[in-house]
Chains A and B, each alone.
Chain A
Amino acid sequence: MKAGSNLEKVLEAGQFAVTAEIGPPQSANPEPLIHHAKMMRGSADAFNLTDNQTAVVRLSSIASAVIIMREGIEPVIQMTCRDRNRIALQSDLFGASALGVKNVLCLTGDHQIFGNEKGAKNVFDFDSISELQVFDALRREGKQLGGEVVKDPPRVYLGCAENPFATPYEWRATRLAKKVAAGADFCQTQAIFDMGMFEKWMDEVRARGLDKKIHILAGVIPMKSAGAARYMKNKVPGMIVPNDIVDRMKNAKDQKAEGIKLCIEQINHLKTVKGVHGVHIMAVAWEEMVPRIVEESGLMPRPSFK
């Protein structure tokens, strides 16, 4: 075991894993986190705490992780390279590990132009891949990038994201291979709507044997409305939402119910895709739906290792 996290145990035991996302609040109030933690407890093996996602200022992911750990659920902290240089990233990794955080998702990070502090100076000292490489060397060799030997290195399970729907498509499996080489243990993908395209990517992933080296958790987003589908199709770069999904949402009498139904269908299909070792549910501002989605996808109860 690299970190001994619950997520690691589930994946290493060959179980189909479930992770879900919690967006920290845009304030200093911990209550929304506590509320979500209580509501979602038991419905996933670990919960991602986003790191100022879309560059919107939020309660920090490490602080959020500590808050939800108090509620007895396991965090995956997201750590982007946008706001911290190598000094701060390595320091925060020590800090997070010291606080009991065991899962870390390495991301380059959304550009600040999308957020609410557009005048910010960004950092990008690392990108997600070099971040993985540095964190991996820290945990394995107890060695900082600058060469300093670390007596008590962080024990963390390292994750990455990958987007099979961003161009150039033919490079996306290679990019995953780079993340594997850099030390990633698991990968949570961008939300999948174009199943055919995802499966094509998975074919390449399997052809390279990457599915044997990294646990792939397929990303899904339950949609609340046809408007949400259209927004993701037209406004979110690197996201592909096929027309038939937009139409299906548009034609549904109860769009919310249809969104949940679609998400469950997607999960059930993803369970059958060879090399997919779990799902990552990103119910953005709709976290309360996660337990139901997991239950109705036949993924309850979650494995227990106590």
Chain B
Amino acid sequence: MIVAKRKPVGEIAEMAAPYKKVAVVGCRSCVAICLAGGEKEVKMLVSALKVKNKKEGRKQEFEGLVVERQCEKEWVKEVEETILGADLVLSMACSLGAQTIGDMYPEKLVFPGLNTSFFGVPEEQGVWTEKCVGCGNCIIHTTGGICPIARCAKSMLNGPCGGSSNGHCEVNLEIDCAWHAIHERLKLQKRLDLIEKVTPPKDWSTSHSGGRRVYTRDDARLTQHQKKGKEAVQ
């Protein structure tokens, strides 16, 4: 899932200050699970902004609402009326949601209420950890199921570096050294031979380094005829 963190209320208030009617739009997908932009968080933010405005004598209208998945046009369409009626859309989804609204209604201002952080996993209640960077060429079958690109601070392919200390990463001693973990996992699986040979440099062209990525699947795309039919139904 995509893990995000709400921006500080003060920063959000400052961004939104010049606009009278503000639609605060949350999302029930990833950001709800990471407690950043779901229904509850939208309500909390709206009341925090109202309280702040009351204290500071500023007049603004806030409307909070949540869509199922803000990165999908169909769901955004459901709240179109509110979006069109607002001076500002404050998106409480990840940046994908915010950009979806922005691309659908280019004349509208859509500001981010969250900082989209990483692809991660809810490790335990209140803890999310990054485990993938979307490099476009997965190799975890060779590294004991642990991604060194995302989980090693230096994205090493031949780790661990000399800073691995008691199994922890030198960059943050609270965090496990990915390569120590890979070593332990492969040892357990009796597959250490996988990392005994030199892993050559990675081809990063499948990652963001290769430019913005667009995937198309011809077998999944609608034909012109199907598109017309769909439009007619809508």
> CB distance B196 to A127 under 8 Å?
no
Q: Is the CB of A129 within 8 A of B164?
A: no
Shortest Cβ distance from A19 into chain B, in angstroms? Answer: 18
A92 to chain B, nearest CB (A): 16
Evaluate contact between B161 and A108: CB separation under 8 angstroms.
yes
Q: Are A238 and B201 in contact (CB under 8 A)?
A: no
Given contacts A113-B171, A237-B163, are A124 and B154 in contact (CB under 8 A)?
yes
Interface membership of B158, Cβ < 8 A: yes
Q: List A237-289 residues whose CB lies under 8 Å from chain B.
A: 237-238
Contact of A111 among B159, B165, B170, B202 (CB under 8 A): B170
Q: Pick the contact of A126: B159, B162, B163, B201 (CB < 8 A).
A: B201
Does residue B173 face the partner (Cβ distance < 8 Å to A)? yes
**CA of A145 to CA of B196, assembled, Å:** 21
In contact, B201 and A124 (Cβ under 8 angstroms): no
Q: Is A41 an interface residue (CB 8 A)?
A: no
* A171 interface contact, C-beta 8 A: yes
Partner of A166, one of B157, B160, B197: B160
User: Across the two chains, which residue of chain A brings its CB closest to B157?
Assistant: A127
A134 vs B199: C-alpha distance when bound (angstroms): 11
Interface check B19, CB cutoff 8 A: no
Please, which residue of chain A has its CB at the minimum distance from the CB of B172? Answer: A113
Answer whether residue B51 sits at the interface, using C-beta atoms and an 8 A cutoff: no
Contacts of A109 in B (CB 8 A): 154
Contact A134 B164 (CB under 8 A): no
| A126 and chain B: residue at smallest CB distance | B201
Q: When chains A and B are docked, how far (Å) is the Cα of A123 from the Cα of B155?
A: 9
Judging by beta carbons under 8 Å apart, are A125 and B201 in contact? yes
Is B165 touching A174 in the complex (CB atoms < 8 A)? no
A48 CB-CB contact with B under 8 Å: no
Closest to A174 in B: B196
Assuming A111-B170, A167-B180, A178-B197, is B162 touching A130 (CB within 8 A)?
no
Q: Mark A139-181, 1 if CB is under 8 A from B, else 0.
A: 0000001000000000000000111001110010011011001
Report A93-136 CB contacts with B as 1/0, cut-off 8 Å: 00000000000000011110100000000101111111001100
Given A130-B158, A182-B198, the answer on whether A238 and B164 have CB atoms closer than 8 Å is: yes
Does B156 contact A124, Cβ atoms closer than 8 Å? Answer: yes
Find out whether the CB atom of A181 lies under 8 angstroms from the CB atom of B197.
yes
A228 nearest CB across to chain B (Å): 19
Interfacial chain A residues near B180, Cβ < 8 Å: 167-168
A167 pairs with B177, CB closer than 8 A: yes
**B155 contacts across to A, CB distance below 8 A:** 124
A168 touches B184 (CB 8 A): yes
CB nearest neighbor in A for B196:
A174
Q: Which residues of B contact A237 (CB under 8 A)?
A: 163-165, 168, 170, 173
Please tell me if B167 contacts chain A, counting CB pairs below 8 Å.
yes
B198→A130 contact, CB < 8 A: yes
A238 and B165 in contact (CB under 8 A), knowing A181-B197, A182-B198?
A: yes
Known: A127-B158, A130-B198, A167-B180. A111 touches B153 (CB 8 A): yes
Show 17 residue pairs from A and B whose CB-CB distance is below 8 angstroms, ordered by the A residue: A81-B154, A109-B154, A110-B163, A111-B154, A124-B155, A125-B201, A125-B204, A127-B161, A130-B157, A133-B201, A167-B166, A168-B184, A175-B158, A178-B158, A190-B162, A237-B163, A238-B163
Chain B residues with CB under 8 Å of chain A are: 153-168, 170-171, 173, 177, 180, 183-184, 196-202, 204
Please name 14 further chain A to chain B contacts, defined as beta carbons within 8 Å, in addition to the given A130-B157, A133-B201, A238-B170, sorted by A numbering. A81-B154, A111-B163, A124-B154, A124-B155, A125-B201, A128-B161, A130-B200, A163-B163, A166-B165, A168-B160, A171-B183, A178-B158, A237-B168, A238-B162
